[in-house]
Structure 1
Amino acid sequence: MASIFLTGATGYVGGQVLHELVRSHPDYTIAALIRDGDVAKRIAEAFPKVRAVVGDLDNAELIEEEASKASVVLRKYPANLATWTGTDSFWVQISGASALAAGELASPSFKPGSSSSQVYDDVDDMAAIRSLVRAHPSRVVDNYVLDVAGQKASIKTALVLPPIIYGAGEGPGNKRSFQIPVLCKVALERGKAVKVGEGLSRWGNVHVGDLGRLVAALAEAGAQGKQDEALWGENGIYLTGVGEVTWEAIAQKIADKAHAKGLIAAAEVEQLDKPESDAVLPAADVLFGSNARSKARRGVELLGWTPAEEDLDAEIPRALAEEVERRGNQRQKPATVTNVEGFRAPTKPLLDNYPAIHRHYR
């Protein structure tokens, strides 16, 4: 019987993955790392067959112990797996598509909100994607996964790089994404939508339901013991963008919908440049001003992944309505890097602290 160990089960993506695994594979034995005992009780109520492991991400000994029991490990943040000695174990790491922007973000000439013609294909451009990650040690999580892939043949790794994630999560904890809700929040507070710089930078996007199914498909491949080199290791990097759009277009969609609903006075988009963009939007350059363009073929061609959820256009009115409801339920403060729910501003320079960003916005 397949055994799965999952971290981040109360998070947006991790919760969706847990939901999908329980739905599609009730026969799996699943253990989930939960930081709080009360939350563990809620997990048990929602998913009676899931074993809650109470602990946190800093408890490397506990994580390594649970990982050693599992045939597949699904993680959102790495532990030291040096002592993980399981035979033919599978590790799926969820990171983020900002990896594709590492080059421009590190460039002195980078201008937030500018366009780029660089598009990464996760079949044809695998070597280029690996080289990009390797060229930027600041991508700590991603480099660690590649290190394990090259050094421990007994561990089959997969690295998943989601772009903008949208849609209502179906997990037991956080059901909200980050980027689109933040832009809706700021638009309602300022009376106009915003973009970073000219807003010409582009990111891919994927519905959380489709993303959950891709990760579940990888878990299933591991549970079945599939050893295909194209699936794992240095070849196992999965891009997940289904659509692609500029940040300017997203901002205009928010402005149009908010104005049509009478939430703002005019369907206007305000350009934010430094330092204002950094004060208004969390990690503005990375999450709203960079380019993460991709073609997601690997999951489709190797795992039969078929994205089927509604597109990003349907998310805008839903996210706006949700933010209006939230504003009615609590007193709001201006959106800054220190008070957006679920995000803590990095204490180290941004390019040295990517894991913190991934950890808080997923």
Structure 2
Amino acid sequence: MASTTGKNVFLIGPGFIGREVLDLLLAEGYTVTTLTRRENYATELQQSGAKTVLGSLDDSDIITKQTIDSDIVIHTATADHLASVEAVIAGIGQRASQDKHTLFIHTSGTSLLSDDAKGNYPSDKIFHDDKPEEIDALPDSASHRLIDLAIVRARQKIGTKAKLVIMIPPLIYGVNPQYQRLSIQLPTLTRFAIKHGYAGHVGKGESQWSTIHVKDLARGYVTLLHWLETTDASKVLENPYFFCENGYEFIWKDAVAVLGKVLYDAGKIKSHEPKTIPESDYDELFGKYTAWVVGSNSRSRANRLRQLGWEPKEKHLMESLAQDETPLIMKEESGFSGYGGVAASGSG
């Protein structure tokens, strides 16, 4: 029989992805404690029904302590913060020593699969999550891989005393009207376009990615959680990886053309014709990772979630980009100076 856990969840990162997951968990009766840096946001989260603990990803002691007190941990803050993941693993290890089982879902991303196309060509390489050997064959230098490997090694060490898995979404898009949060890649290209007066892409813009709407992704986490709750730990150990894509892939230059048309029609840029962004401007995008984050190929198939009954329901990328993201970005008043967070890692 599968070991059971309670319904006490520690959610790290109640932001773009995590807030959607939080709502679904609360609706299903889970007790959720979230890690947040800001008191005013903590108040908002408490009003939604969540508990909060103040702290950042660098507060390892807080993360470890909260993990020890939680049956389930879901990390949606970033794919590239090793210390916070190590703090979770430390807490899981302490729980295991007390014969307490833990479920842990970490968020990676399919920049992990990115090639060196630099926008110049499409690829026929597709990764499948029911073929973990394809992912394990990736170099340790691949984006997000260092953090993912920490989890893979922890799985091997802890064995059946916990269930640790990695959610690997592709390009995430979509807007919840209630929260009006945005993803990273295409919104950053949109803000760049408004500042520079043209819609731009890396290289020829020919490479392609898989996609997922944030609401479909959130449902994917809950589907995965239910599977972990009802599946033997020995079975979970067979494969740590889960993709989450909606079956729709896009070419970068096509997406740039859509956002460019919306901006042009609104008088925000001078021409609707997309063009190549010079490498000298990459620091206003994702720095040295720009070619991988918005110019690579990254194609994946979420076979495992589909086998569990999950299916995408939301609008596709181009419709969402034209109707939701781009109009919202045009209302922003703050100046743009590049994406300030960490969008990728590794050495390529």
> For residues 54-100 of structure 1, what are the alpha-carbon distances to aligned partners after superposition, in whole Å with 9 as ceiling and x for unaligned?
22222222212221222211013513323433333111001111011
Does 1:313 find its partner at 2:313? no
Does 1:251 find its partner at 2:264? no
Counterpart of 1:156? 163
Counterpart of 1:298? 304
Counterpart of 2:109? 96
Equivalences, count: 325
Partner Cα separation in structure 2 for residue 304 and residue 350 of structure 1:
32
Letter in 1 for 2:26: V
Partner Cα separation in structure 2 for residue 13 and residue 40 of structure 1:
17
The partner residue of 1:13 within 14, 17, 31 is: 17
What CA RMSD, in Å, does the superposition of the two structures yield over aligned residues? 2.5
Does 1:205 find its partner at 2:208? no
Q: Which runs of 5+ in 2 are unaligned?
A: 1-5
Counterpart of 2:3? none
Does 1:122 find its partner at 2:125? no
* 266-275 vs 242-251, which moves further: 266-275
Letter in 1 for 2:327: A
Partner Cα separation in structure 2 for residue 97 and residue 185 of structure 1:
23
Counterpart of 1:332? 335
Partner Cα separation in structure 2 for residue 266 and residue 171 of structure 1:
32
Does 1:38 find its partner at 2:40? yes
Question: Quick one: structure 1 residues 134 and 155, their matched pair in 2 at CA, closer, same or farther if it must change by over 3 Å?
Answer: farther
Report SS of the residue matched to 2:86: coil
The partner residue of 1:238 within 215, 220, 242 is: 242
Q: Which runs of 5+ in 1 are unaligned?
A: 355-362
- For residue 111 of structure 1, report the CA deviation from its aligned partner: 4.0
Question: Quick one: structure 1 residues 287 and 268, their matched pair in 2 at CA, closer, same or farther if it must change by over 3 Å?
Answer: same
> For residues 212-269 of structure 1, what are the alpha-carbon distances to aligned partners after superposition, in whole Å with 9 as ceiling and x for unaligned?
01112222333x3422655x33513111121111111111122233334444333201
Question: Quick one: structure 1 residues 331 and 39, their matched pair in 2 at CA, closer, same or farther if it must change by over 3 Å?
Answer: closer
* Conserved 8 A contact 1:12-1:171: no
- For residue 292 of structure 1, report the CA deviation from its aligned partner: 0.9
Report SS of the residue matched to 2:58: coil
Letter in 2 for 1:176: L
Counterpart of 1:60? 60
Counterpart of 2:232? 227
Question: Quick one: structure 1 residues 84 and 244, their matched pair in 2 at CA, closer, same or farther if it must change by over 3 Å?
Answer: farther
Report SS of the residue matched to 1:156: strand
- For residue 39 of structure 1, report the CA deviation from its aligned partner: 2.2
* Conserved 8 A contact 1:19-1:170: no
> For residues 3-39 of structure 1, what are the alpha-carbon distances to aligned partners after superposition, in whole Å with 9 as ceiling and x for unaligned?
1111001x1111111122122x1x2121111223332
- For residue 43 of structure 1, report the CA deviation from its aligned partner: 1.0
Partner Cα separation in structure 2 for residue 207 and residue 201 of structure 1:
20
* Conserved 8 A contact 2:12-2:74: yes
Question: Quick one: structure 1 residues 249 and 229, their matched pair in 2 at CA, closer, same or farther if it must change by over 3 Å?
Answer: farther
Letter in 1 for 2:172: I
Report SS of the residue matched to 2:124: coil
Report SS of the residue matched to 1:235: coil
Partner Cα separation in structure 1 for residue 143 and residue 285 of structure 2:
25
* Conserved 8 A contact 1:146-1:234: no
Counterpart of 2:94? 84
* Conserved 8 A contact 1:40-1:52: yes
